[in-house]
């Protein structure tokens, strides 16, 4: 039992040190990075248009094949999803994506202005 | 013969090297750390240790039973240790390849790949469900041959300790002769990458020769830097979800199966398999990437 308590203390120490050393921020997302992340993580996806969320907390990308790539924040990085444009809806405050995953039913990206291509597709 | 547990002996070195890697990451700007991800990896490592301790007795009993039916008498000698180490590494290759190609084993192994980071804490991100997935069966032939369980577990411990240091971006390439024979940070970065070119490659534990021999080797390229994680990255850093998510997926898919063959495919097919062929397996992902790349080049 003692060995597990010591291990747990070591975990807290190392995690705390990581925090102290500054490994707690996420680099900003710009169009180039959004393209790189989406194309790098979604095999065969090629971005035609990129719309960054207003707070740069994610991006929605239209692929040249008409599919949609979505970038969402996780830790100091991003997760990417490919979905049909029909999974997106516009709420006024931004784009809502229906992902229907166990830990990710929906995701909202704040957007002040609705992208034209999304308006045309919806 | 009483042999020490190499993993327990190495734990202080693990902690020291993680600290060193964090400092180098900060000073050099190479590699990535995130405190939440590192904490999750370390918690998964602790959970794995606890799960291992709970099932160690059963695995030892099974190992001794198989050893009782051994084919040869193998003494505790230097050549037996050397042979055992090499054959245990081959058994690891077979296990590891199965762990990526058979969803049942993948459900247990996916934990190790579920981080989008590649650092020394990732090495400690280990399974909680290895016993349930029966991943211990891959070492049983060693006992049947006649290697004493104490010798096999000692070699397996050394194998695990070796694999710790290769989980880093702080080391570029090792000398050419070393890269040719041994598993290295460069080779293993490829293994942890989701780039289509790198999917399901470099299964080696200690000796990369197994991949070269069995056609699963892929070198790391400077023009295709590895992106780490799994094809469908987890949307949370919760360690509990990382530990069980694929089992939950298997259970849901098993309930939905409409025929025995579909059930078989969903349990023991490659990860991502779907009965209609629309699944995202390594092969389909690689094919889609190749088609898109050729189209772009044309």
Contact B208, B182 (CB under 8 A): yes
For residues A122 and B31, the model is more confident at B31
> Min CA distance, A112 vs chain B (Å)?
25
∠ CA B152-B49-B36, rounded to 5°? 135
Domain that holds residue A85: 31-121
Chain B hits for A22, Cβ within 8 Å: 26
User: What's residue A71's pLDDT?
Assistant: 96
Judged against a pLDDT cut of 80, whether residue A15 lies above it is answered with yes
User: Domains of chain B: which residue ranges?
Assistant: 6-214, 239-297
Q: What is the pLDDT of residues A78-95, one digit of tens each?
A: 999 999 989 998 887 889
Q: Do A80 and B227 touch (CB under 8 A)?
A: no
> Min CA distance, A37 vs chain B (Å)?
9
Mapped onto helix, strand or coil, the DSSP state of residue A46 is coil
Q: How far apart (Å, rounded) are the C-alpha atoms in residues B180 and B184?
A: 9
Q: Which two tokens stand for residue B73?
A: 């008498």
Q: Do B235 and A72 touch (CB under 8 A)?
A: yes
Q: Where are the alpha helices (DSSP H) in chain B?
A: 6-28, 35-68, 78-101, 103-113, 120-123, 140-145, 149-165, 176-181, 185-191, 209-214, 239-256, 260-268, 282-297
Q: What is the mean pLDDT of residues B157-162?
A: 98
Q: Do B34 and A76 touch (CB under 8 A)?
A: yes
User: What's residue B13's pLDDT?
Assistant: 96
pLDDT band at B26 (very low <50, low <70, confident <90, very high): very high
In a domain, A62, yes or no: yes
Q: Which two tokens stand for residue B216?
A: 């699963």
List CB contacts of B149: < 8 A, sequence separation 6 or more: B60, B63, B64, B67, B143
How does DSSP assign B209-263, residue by residue?
A: HHHHHHT-----BTTB---BS-SS--S---HHHHHHHHHHHHHHHHHH--SHHHH
Q: What is the mean pLDDT of residues B24-33?
A: 96
Q: How far apart (Å, rounded) are the C-alpha atoms in residues B216 and B71?
A: 31
List CB contacts of B197: < 8 A, sequence separation 6 or more: B218, B221, B224, B286, B289
Instruction: Report which of B188, B118, B272 is spatially closest to residue A43, judged by C-alpha positions.
Output: B272
Chain A hits for B291, Cβ within 8 Å: 44
For residues B255 and A56, the model is more confident at B255
Q: Do B37 and A15 touch (CB under 8 A)?
A: no
Q: Are strands A68-74 and A77-83 parallel, antiparallel or unpaired?
A: antiparallel
Q: Which two tokens stand for residue B158?
A: 């050394």
Q: How far apart (Å, rounded) are the C-alpha atoms in residues B43 and B239?
A: 7
Mapped onto helix, strand or coil, the DSSP state of residue B166 is coil
From edge to edge, which strands make up the β-sheet containing A59-63?
A: A47-52, A59-63, A68-74, A77-83
∠ CA A49-A99-A83, rounded to 5°? 35
Contact A49, A35 (CB under 8 A): no
Judged against a pLDDT cut of 90, whether residue A107 lies above it is answered with yes
User: What's residue A121's pLDDT?
Assistant: 66
User: What's residue A122's pLDDT?
Assistant: 57
Q: How far apart (Å, rounded) are the C-alpha atoms in residues A18 and A13?
A: 9
Q: Do B288 and A18 touch (CB under 8 A)?
A: no
Chain B hits for A44, Cβ within 8 Å: 285, 288-289, 291-292
Q: What is the DSSP letter of B281?
A: -
- ipTM of this complex prediction, to 2 decimal places: 0.92
> Min CA distance, B68 vs chain A (Å)?
33
Q: What is the pLDDT of residues B228-263, one digit of tens each?
A: 999 999 999 999 999 999 999 999 999 999 999 999
> Min CA distance, B283 vs chain A (Å)?
11
Partner-chain residue, chosen from B22, B39, B235, that has the shortest CB–CB distance to A11 = B39
Instruction: Report which of B32, B191, B135, B221 is spatially closest to residue A77, judged by C-alpha positions.
Output: B32
Per mean pLDDT, which range of A56-65, B24-33, B122-131, B218-227 is the poorest?
A56-65
Burial per residue of B180-214, b for 16 or more beta-carbon CB atoms within 10 angstroms, e otherwise: eebbbbbbbbbbbbbbbbbbbbbbbbbbbbbbeee
In a domain, A5, yes or no: no
Judged against a pLDDT cut of 80, whether residue B124 lies above it is answered with yes
Looking at the structure of chain A, the number of domains it has is 1
In a domain, A76, yes or no: yes
Residue % of chain B over a pLDDT of 90: 94
Q: Under an 8 Å CB criterion, which residues of B touch A?
A: 15, 18-19, 22-23, 25-26, 32-39, 42-43, 46, 49-50, 116, 121, 194-196, 227, 231-238, 241, 245, 248, 285-286, 288-289, 291-292, 296
Per mean pLDDT, which range of A113-122, B51-60, B276-285 is the poorest?
A113-122
Statement: the pTM of the whole predicted model exceeds 0.90 = yes
Q: Do B235 and A43 touch (CB under 8 A)?
A: no
pLDDT band at B211 (very low <50, low <70, confident <90, very high): very high
Partner-chain residue, chosen from A14, A24, A74, that has the shortest CB–CB distance to B42 = A14
Partner-chain residue, chosen from B121, B194, B292, that has the shortest CB–CB distance to A46 = B292
Chain B hits for A17, Cβ within 8 Å: 19, 22
The residue of chain B nearest to residue A7, with distances taken between CA atoms, is B46
Q: How far apart (Å, rounded) are the C-alpha atoms in residues A94 and A63?
A: 19
Chain A hits for B245, Cβ within 8 Å: 102-103
């Amino acid at each position: 039992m003692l060995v597990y308590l010591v291990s747990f203390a070591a975990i807290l120490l190392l995690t705390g040190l990581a925090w102290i050393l500054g490994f707690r921020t996420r680099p900003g997302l710009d169009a180039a990075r959004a393209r790189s992340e989406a194309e790098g993580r979604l095999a065969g996806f090629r971005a035609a248009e990129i719309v960054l969320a207003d707070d740069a907390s994610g991006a929605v990308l239209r692929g040249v094949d008409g599919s949609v790539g979505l970038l969402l924040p996780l830790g100091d990085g991003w997760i990417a999803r490919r979905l049909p444009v029909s999974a997106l809806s516009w709420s006024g405050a931004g784009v809502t994506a229906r992902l229907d995953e166990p830990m990710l039913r929906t995701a909202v990206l704040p957007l002040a202005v609705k992208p034209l291509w999304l308006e045309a597709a919806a | 013969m009483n042999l020490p547990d190499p993993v327990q002996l190495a734990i202080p070195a693990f902690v020291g090297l993680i600290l060193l890697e964090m400092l180098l990451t900060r000073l050099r700007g190479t590699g990535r750390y995130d405190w939440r991800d590192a904490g999750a990896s370390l918690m998964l490592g602790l959970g794995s240790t606890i799960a291992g301790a709970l099932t160690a007795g059963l695995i030892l009993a099974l190992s001794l039973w198989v050893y009782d039916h051994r084919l040869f008498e193998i003494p505790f000698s230097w050549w037996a240790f050397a042979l055992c180490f090499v054959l245990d590494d081959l058994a690891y290759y077979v296990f590891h390849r199965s762990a990526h190609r058979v969803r049942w084993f993948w459900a247990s192994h996916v934990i190790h790949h579920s981080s989008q980071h590649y650092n020394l804490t990732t090495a400690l991100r280990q399974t909680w469900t290895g016993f349930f997935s029966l991943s211990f069966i891959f070492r049983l032939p060693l006992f049947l041959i006649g290697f004493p369980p104490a010798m096999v577990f000692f070699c397996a411990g050394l194998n695990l300790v070796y694999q710790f240091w290769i989980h880093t971006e702080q080391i570029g390439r090792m000398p050419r002769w070393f890269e040719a024979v041994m598993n290295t940070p460069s080779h293993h970065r490829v293994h942890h990458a989701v780039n289509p070119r790198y999917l399901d490659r470099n299964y080696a534990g200690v000796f990369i020769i197994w991949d070269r021999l069995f056609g699963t080797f892929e070198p790391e390229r400077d023009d295709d830097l590895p992106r780490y994680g799994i094809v469908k990255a987890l949307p949370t850093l919760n360690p509990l979800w990382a530990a069980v998510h694929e089992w939950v997926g298997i259970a849901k898919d098993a309930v939905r199966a409409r025929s025995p063959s579909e059930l078989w495919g969903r349990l023991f097919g490659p990860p991502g398999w779907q009965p209609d062929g629309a699944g995202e397996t390594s092969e389909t992902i690689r094919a889609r990437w190749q088609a898109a790349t050729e189209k772009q080049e044309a």
